[in-house]
Chain A
Amino acid sequence: MTEVTLNRIGALPQIFPSPDDYLFVTGLAGPARDAAALTNDGPNMFTMAGCMGAAMTMGLGMALGAPDRDVVVIAGDGEMMMNIGSMATIASQAPKNLTVVCVDNGGHGETGGQDGHTSVRTNLAKVAEGFGIQNILTVSSDAGLKDAAEFVKSGDGPRFLWLRVMAGEPTKFKRNMNPAECRVRFKTAFQSA
């Protein structure tokens, strides 16, 4: 596979320059911090700090429940691998308004950077294709971020954007990790939108 030169810091804001236009859900750990910095922990985003593997189907529930809104899942490679079958669940439902973004650093950053499957042999783009996701883009360098920004706006979902990033610290950002508070915050904002 292509050498990875993409820096995760600052990548998401280039892909989603208008984050208020979306509903976001994130998995846990580093990608949640990158994403929370994108929206300044805004009420249109629900981030997790547990329930590893829940992000994709939580996004699916949002996309099916709010078909007029664009829903984006942001999750790490470990989170996605834990429930990779959710890609089949998403592919079968085929929601046009759902985009899944994997921030893949090839390992488990939160627990000390231990290797994950994607740094060995697992190719998530081929995995997504095999599960039946039709629109897939892999980006491994800063130069590809323009294409990524175009990709998340074009065609129909479900889309899978595989961001292969270099190992390193995620964005420094402290977010609200109380799920009950964040649930009420999200619901209130959604209802008044």
Chain B
Amino acid sequence: MDGNVHPHDVWSRELFKQFKDAGVRLYSYIPDAGNARLVELADADNETRTVLLTTEEEGVSLAAGADLVGEKAVLMMQSSGVGNCPNFLSFVKGGNFPILMMVSMRGDYGEQNPWQYPMGEAVEPILEAMGVLVFKVERADELEGAATAALNTAFKAGKSAALVLSQKFLGAKGF
């Protein structure tokens, strides 16, 4: 970062505070530009723990295991990773496990890499098919409300929720 402020610093700090205040202690992830700053913050905090995964569906079962012993987790991934999750999302419809996800989008607004479009366009249908409610963020002023809704859906209502951060919000990567 060369001393510059991370482009996602401000909202990542606010979102991390919301997650932490809601009792989220485990932050599992596959690295992505959209979750990088949040992972750094969770890593630096003594009360939260990051878990680097090898594939995104591991984070679904990790969260289910944590739920069995009363802990809260969030699974963070790029949109392509949603395609690795459906089978394990059987925990949601079959078992009522509350899974909270944060998806940073590729393949939507202004994407320049054609490989990203198939999964980008499939994110919401997949999540919907597996019983995960989608809370989409396109503008900065939508983040706090969407995050509150996703947290309450997962940890108060006991349903699963995905906070989906669009490229309109995150900014598209150049190629």
Contacts and interface: CB of A to CB of B under 8 A. Distances in A.
Nearest to B59: A57
A173 interface: no
A180 interface: yes
B53 A66 contact: no
Given A62-B65, A64-B71, A89-B52, A57 B91 contact: no
Given A25-B65, A180-B95, A183-B96, A88 B71 contact: no
Interface in B85-101: 87-88, 90-91, 94-97
A187 B52 contact: no
A51 B97 contact: no
A83 B55 contact: yes
Classify chain A's interface size: 35 or more
A60 B51 CA distance: 10
A4 interface: no
Interface residues of B, number: 32
Contact of B68 (A50, A51, A62): A62
A13 interface: no
B63 interface: yes
Given A54-B91, A86-B58, A180-B96, 19 more contacts: A51-B87, A54-B64, A57-B62, A58-B64, A58-B68, A60-B51, A60-B65, A61-B68, A62-B69, A65-B25, A65-B68, A65-B70, A83-B58, A85-B54, A93-B51, A179-B90, A183-B96, A183-B97, A187-B68
